[in-house]
Structures are given as structure tokens and as C-alpha cells.
Amino acid sequence: MTDRTLELAKELIARPSQTPRDEGCQEIMIKRLAPLGFKAERLPFGDVENLWAVRGNAKPLVVFAGHTDVVPPGPREAWKSDPYKPEVRDGQLYGRGAADMKSSLAAFVTGIEDFLAKHPQHNGAIGLLITSDEEGPAVHGTVKVMEWLGKQGIKIDHCIVGEPSCVKTLGDTIKIGRRGSLTGRLFVHGKQGHVAYPQLADNPIHKLAPALAELAATEWDQGNADFPPTSFQVSNIHGGTGAENVIPGRLEVVFNFRFSTAVTDAELRHRVEEILKRHGVEHQTQWILSGHPFLTRGTALIESVRRAVKEELGIDAEPSTSGGTSDGRFIAPTGTEVVEIGPLNRTIHQIDECIAVEDLVRLARVYRRILENLLL
């Protein structure tokens, strides 16, 4: 398993599949899955490549979900080796996507290969849902595949998402849910003018400042037993002409809520608008809901994953709902049990992204063991 998983991971990393490009990664996976009896459906939507591959039609249907796209590498001269020429140094595999999440894709495949070699007559069915648009807008990826599956009458029972979930050591953390994500794009209207004649202008920055301070200081909720409190963060502020003597006539602010099940997106929108109105801010707001919070409450998948980690790695996996969003937000609303388990997340999206070669091998074993726990 060592060489197969490592070599497949290197083959995938060598493809520069920046969102939304797949660059042939899914075809590499199909070539490995087809001899195992998987039926592959290529599902292009917009400029995104998606793959649904399934073996069998019995219940339960256990699906591995992930993405072939990666974020840009940044300045290549800052890397110790070419981000798209995977290299092993000091027991670490380096390359863009090594941790997020081409190693998981490789481990999916080799874990399934090993499971089927030992248990060709297993119960249930095995599927893979792979997209090339998770790091980007995510409008033509997993969400579209889930719509397609619904039209086909296909219901996923258990889904393992291979996102990098772990913090200090492989298997220490599994994600059993994620917070929702709500972005606001706020346009504040003023009147441009000369800084020496403020009485003839209307500065939108000054108008917004008190309201923005209140938004930043507001306690939106106190969280609950499953989620930390909702957070509000400003990510971008754009205003002005670049000249030091011109009062801007318009201000744009982008902010984001990561919200728990203790509050709804509708409540957050209403409270933001109330604060802006109270401060007399003339504005327009565009809202983008990237996903509702979700939480896996069923025990079958969580227990199977935790038992697999204990059996293969000898540690107790801690359930968590922290971190950003994932494509699990598109899968969970159908009633599917969703758990995320993958590599360490300490180098994701960074220069010199990497994964321990040993973890590649161990992750494939965990995925194989999860299948054994669910399908035997």
C-alpha cells in the first residue's frame, strides 16, 4: 500500500489543477476504479468537471467525497521545490494539494482497492463524488452533483469527506459538522469632494465607522453544545480614489459570518440592517449564503470512523465542528451522515504544502477500515 498510495498521490499532484480545472485527475482515478467494477458518470456543469463513480446498488451506500482542484501556489520562487513536481524530502511529500486534498483522493482509491481485494462480496455499495470546484465559487460542483443524484433517486447513506481535518497528528480530529457561512457585500453611499471642504461632501467612511464598530463588538449568540459562538469578520474595505485630498463618494465593505445553529441567516441579516438603519447609513447590501450549518447526529458513521481511527492509529478521534466550510454542506441536507477525516491541516494553502509519507499509508488504512466497519 505504501508505494501505491504515494505514487498515485504524486501523479495527482503533478497535475496543475487550479480551480476550476481538473487537468485529468478524475480520469486517473477512473482508470484505477474501472477494473474494480465501478461505473463512472462524468458530470460537467459549466466549466467544472465532476465525477460520480459507484460500485453496486445495495444499501447502505457509502461515499467518499473530495475535490481535485487546488488553490494557486503563490510565488513559485518561494517554494523549495516546484509545487507541481511532487518531491519527497525528509519523510514529507511536498507539492500543491499534498494535504488539501490529493493525498486523500489517492488514499480513497488504494483504501478501496485493499478493501475489495479482501472483501469482494461485501454488503452495500461504494461511491465516490469528486469535483474540480471546491476551492472556488462551488456553484457547479458538488451542489450540482447532489441535484443530479436526487433526480436519479440516489440517496447517500454515509459520506466520508477527505478534507484535512487533523491538527497535530493523523486521526486526532474528525469533523462531524460545520458552521454556516454568510457573506455581506455592503455599499455605502456618500458624496465625493475636496478634503478641505468637508461641508460640501459626505464621507461614507465616517458615516459607516460607528456602525461598523458596533457590528464588530456585537455578540450574535453564545453558541451551543455543538458549535462555538457565531463570528463576524470584515475581510475587505475599499474606498477612495488613491488621492490624499479627495473624500470618497462610495465605500465597499465585505464581511462574513461563520454562524452556528443558535441563529439563522435571516436573523443575522435582519440584525445587521437594524444596526445600519439606526446609525443612518445610506447603503445597499448584497448577501451571499454559502451554506447552512450542518451537524451529523446519527451515530453509525461517527462510531465507525472513530473505531477505525482507534483500530488503525491507536488514538481517540475528537469530534469537532470548527474550521471553515466544506462540500459536506451540500451533502448533509439530504439526510446523509457526513464525517470529515483527512490529513493534517497545518500546511494547507501555504508555501511548501506537505504531508508525511507515513500518513499517506495510514490514511488509506483508515479508509479501508471504515468500509469494513460499515459494509461487513
> How many other CB atoms sit within 10 Å of the CB of residue 34?
12
24: left (phi over 0), alpha (psi -120 to 50) or beta: left
- Is 134 marked active-site? yes
User: Which one is catalytic: 22, 49, 69, 100?
Assistant: 69
> Cα–Cα distance between 293 and 297 in angstroms, integer?
13
Residue 62 has which C-alpha cell?
457509502
- Helix spans in 94-237 (H): 103-118, 142-152, 204-217
Burial zone of 266 (CB within 10 Å; 0-12 exposed, 13-18 middle, 19+ buried): exposed
- Is 157 marked active-site? no
Helix or strand holding residue 361 (H, E):
helix 357-375
Closest Cα partner for 42 from 131, 169, 107, 112? Answer: 131
> Cα–Cα distance between 216 and 103 in angstroms, integer?
38
User: Which one is catalytic: 134, 135, 163, 337?
Assistant: 134
Give the DSSP per-residue string, 198-247: GGGSB-HHHHHHHHHHHHHH-------SSSPPPEEEEEEEEES-S-TTEE
Query: 212-221 in b/e burial notation, b at 16+ Cβ within 10 A?
Result: beebeeeebb
Label the pairing between strands 318-320 and 246-247: unpaired
Burial zone of 238 (CB within 10 Å; 0-12 exposed, 13-18 middle, 19+ buried): exposed
Residue type for 322, please?
S
> Cα–Cα distance between 101 and 280 in angstroms, integer?
46
Cross-strand bridge partners of residue 166:
344
> What are the catalytic residues?
69, 134
